[in-house]
Structure 1
């Protein structure tokens, strides 16, 4: 895998540097500095703004084990196009699976004061098996997505959805969605239904309701829009998912309840402690695609240097991909950012101490055919440290796996990787 990391990372960093350089050339010094800051802000959020349309840098280039190099283009209309309507979409191509993927959608604002939007979308793409996304998370952008490089377990997903966004009050944001999906795993998989019929691909009709509560954040109305001006902690996210059997030919009847809380104490300049707790539980016949995998980030190779890759932000670095799946789980991650070394104005490396814990279980693993995985019911533990921003945004990460799931071969419990941190 490592032979692919360097050219892709170099390409992404080059795009970032060029975009930053372009922003400086694009804006004359005599222009308002606010416009320059807005441009840089868009860039930091992963957009290249134009007059009516913002190009989305997330789709420019990526890499994973199934698609190989994945490249394309996407974007969304901005307020200059319309403050009441928006159009969005993307198109990408995978050079290893030789397949186009795309999404097209749009929305209209019902009420500006409560930021209420109704959105429609059609998506034909891939999704990582065992992953969970909260609707209210909205947009998340990284110039470089570490875990994506090593993921190989995907399922094809064709989804038609209708979505409602609504701000109940400044500190409570809600989102609801109804979706109809056709799911086809890209790997050999079968699920045994109650009537002993094995399905390899299936239909799902799901309803989701998600709540994001930030009780300690501060908000202000800027240009007639409510914006979060200061993040306060803890923050809480809750999501309920229900799949309806026989609705639009849906094959499964299950429910999921997911919860996350994030708490931060201090600040990165003087020392910061961060606690993240994520928990989820499913009930009913739930296929592997919708179970939990605890976000592993280690590839199955014999030698430590063969497993040398990039550490994720909130992933278990010593847990191997597809090693565990659960229908109920909880993870706790503790991070402590030491005060940065103030070597110079632009060179301030920082040490981060990390401990992660995961526990989970699965009731009937025998219903999942042609796949082999373990249970987390004994509790999984790893600890380590990172040295971030050591050189041009790059750093190093060292993590050790111990406890009940400690492996017989000492070197198999070690994850040695590099980190990448860039901020605008």
Structure 2
């Protein structure tokens, strides 16, 4: 049925029977969409008001024979004659204007700039997330539809869906907040058309920020400069469109858009500024540049306790401009109503969890009495029909099964009836094995929620060897991610401990493809995995490993030679992410990241003569990585790492593998040296720094050609004790500083992907210089390609 659904708009008029009350809605005549914050006045009177975020208004004490004058920035002014028959359900339609308004300048100064300056000066005072604490409840509603410009398509879609929306979801939440950044939102109820047990829900901040006071407004991973941030007067053009004078306050309506020839990601829209503390009362914002996906937000604020400006309603509209096709784009309309606001409550830090949002266990089972009580906006007849129609389709097609598949894919699994296929162990490739044909199978929740039993098997086409293994895991606590396990494997391990536990985080990692130097291991181990104090993730393992290098090598230590060896070790891996936040959705905790650096620690203690182990040693690796956005400059990332081993060990247990230069796989590989061969250097102690700055689209903005520029600087130092112990294998030591720098240009070429995004192809050039410069210039230069997705 996809490609044949239609957009269907239904406006519900609030009916009131009170004497002298005039109610209605203001809409765009062509799109039939409500016009948020339209200005309304009664002709020949002092009555004036601003419609709400849904374009609705309610005038009390007005004459039933009044003439309403309505205006909105960018629209022709309209009048509406009220009579007894229509006073409770007035529909005012405004036509879009094609005339550019003339900017008002008094004495050479732009009055809008003076107002915006006061808004910026009062940002900290009016920002709700600068309050000590607050708490509120919210009702969220999201509707998915197709907006067909072809009447025949619209008719066909309506027939297919029997007059309902394509998709709809609701939720009721409670949120609490403590300055500076403690936040927790509990989803009390969730209801999703087509699903009996949805494991996800909508919250107020899914698609937009909670308030419009952040320096950068983030939509779909793009940071847009806020028009009320410091320095915005140099980059935005402001225009005072209208002034509304109420009994106590004045509301200034100001339009804004980026100035010409200013390269930055900007917004455009309207600001309604109240003279009471020069706070944002209403805001409309959308990206100034049109992309594959457009988003528009509308926010309304109200004065709480006569002192604090606080969000009252948050709306958003997302349009997929070319999906499924230009003539019939998909649109998503979301509304959040905030109520029961409480300011400066005596909240306790220890009662906040690391989960930004989580579902109550009974969130999917709330009855109609609960929903009737908490729905601030009643369901329309189309909404009711949506649940009836889509629920019946969902039951027939078993949507809940598809949801299970999606949940598993997020965990790199593919579910079968009683087992899951481990996608991370399916059809692997590296230069030593070539293609590894095989997979892994592990029991799932249908067998037991407390125990997982399974294993993997694979055959290397090039090395003609079978690899296999198995494990048994007891899940002690899902909340604390506490698991106990025992495992065995006959498998390959890439030489060098470099980054094995600290760096290889990606499911799809080019660095895995270029590996060609491996040890064959037979390993038996015990494992303990758990999370503590919210931010600490621990993994402890006791391993007994027999190692057989699959390359010509001999380790000669004080007259004792090894070609094969045994290693018994206890290893501790720790990840510490201070104030990392999670969203509990799709039956798992999904990290939203942290603004602080993330610390990784790996410590291994080798024990000689324990279970036949040949070596005594201490091996420590540390890594610190951080990424942060700098207003008007872009995003900076770095990774600082180092390692130390206190004893002489065989090649495979030392540090190597930090290079990623391979002519056959010419792709940029994050946190590696782009001009260094994979195993060029060998160390038992090292320090590396990988630093990059992404300017985004700040430097180039030429219509559709907007490449993204990144600048990279990498450096490293290492040393190796007793070089003579390693026989029959080539390597270097980097006891001088290794240096390289590079420039990367993404999105040089864009190809449309399913009308949802662009696949961007880019390239980068890196230059190796300093002490380890190669004799030939061409050997110091590496040209590599990049691949990314973009909605701009």
**Do these two structures clear the TM 0.5 threshold for a shared fold by scoring above it?**
yes
SS at match of 1:375: coil
Matched residue, 2:604: 241
Matched residue, 1:217: 580
SS at match of 1:401: strand
> Shift of residue 180 of structure 1?
0.3
> Shift of residue 48 of structure 1?
2.4
User: Using the alignment, how far apart are the partners of 2:676 and 2:513 within structure 1?
Assistant: 15
User: Deviation per CA, 1:54-108, whole angstroms, max 9, x where unpaired?
Assistant: 3222333333221122221124333344221112422111111111111211200
The yes-or-no answer on 1:118 pairing with 2:475 is: no
Cα contact 2:577–2:598 (8 A) shared by 1 = yes
Matched residue, 1:193: 557
Structure 1 unpaired stretches of 5+: 1-26, 300-305
> Shift of residue 312 of structure 1?
1.5
Matched residue, 2:571: 208
The yes-or-no answer on 1:78 pairing with 2:447 is: no
Question: Which moved further from structure 2: 236-245 or 306-315?
Answer: 306-315
Question: Any residues of structure 2 matched to 1:315-330 within 5 Å, and which?
Answer: 315-330=672-687
1:419 to 1:222, Cα distance in 2 relative to 1, 3 A: closer
1:363 to 1:186, Cα distance in 2 relative to 1, 3 A: same
Matched residue, 1:149: 513
Aligned length, in residue pairs: 388
Match for residue 313 of structure 1 among 639, 659, 670: 670
User: Using the alignment, how far apart are the partners of 2:391 and 2:545 within structure 1?
Assistant: 48
Match for residue 57 of structure 1 among 423, 426, 434: 423
Matched residue, 2:781: 414
Match for residue 711 of structure 2 among 335, 353, 376: 353
**TM-score where L is the length of structure 1:** 0.82
User: Using the alignment, how far apart are the partners of 1:223 and 1:44 within structure 2?
Assistant: 9
SS at match of 2:660: strand
1:136 to 1:96, Cα distance in 2 relative to 1, 3 A: closer
User: Deviation per CA, 1:274-320, whole angstroms, max 9, x where unpaired?
Assistant: 11111111011211101111511124xxxxxx566222122211001
Match for residue 695 of structure 2 among 338, 344, 357: 338
Structure 2 unpaired stretches of 5+: 1-389, 751-758
1:307 to 1:401, Cα distance in 2 relative to 1, 3 A: farther
SS at match of 1:289: helix
User: Using the alignment, how far apart are the partners of 2:451 and 2:553 within structure 1?
Assistant: 41
Superposition CA RMSD, Å: 3.2
Question: Any residues of structure 2 matched to 1:250-399 within 5 Å, and which?
Answer: 250-266=613-629, 271-293=634-656, 295-299=658-662, 309-340=666-697, 350-389=708-747, 390-391=749-750, 392-399=759-766
1:198 to 1:356, Cα distance in 2 relative to 1, 3 A: same
> Shift of residue 272 of structure 1?
1.6
Matched residue, 2:595: 232
Matched residue, 1:405: 772
Question: Which moved further from structure 2: 266-275 or 406-415?
Answer: 266-275
**TM-score where L is the length of structure 2:** 0.45
User: Deviation per CA, 1:346-377, whole angstroms, max 9, x where unpaired?
Assistant: x9753322111111101111011111211111
User: Using the alignment, how far apart are the partners of 2:713 and 2:393 within structure 1?
Assistant: 49
Question: Which moved further from structure 2: 32-41 or 310-319?
Answer: 32-41
User: Using the alignment, how far apart are the partners of 2:552 and 2:790 within structure 1?
Assistant: 40
User: Using the alignment, how far apart are the partners of 1:269 and 1:62 within structure 2?
Assistant: 42
Matched residue, 1:162: 526
User: Using the alignment, how far apart are the partners of 1:255 and 1:29 within structure 2?
Assistant: 62
> Shift of residue 225 of structure 1?
6.5
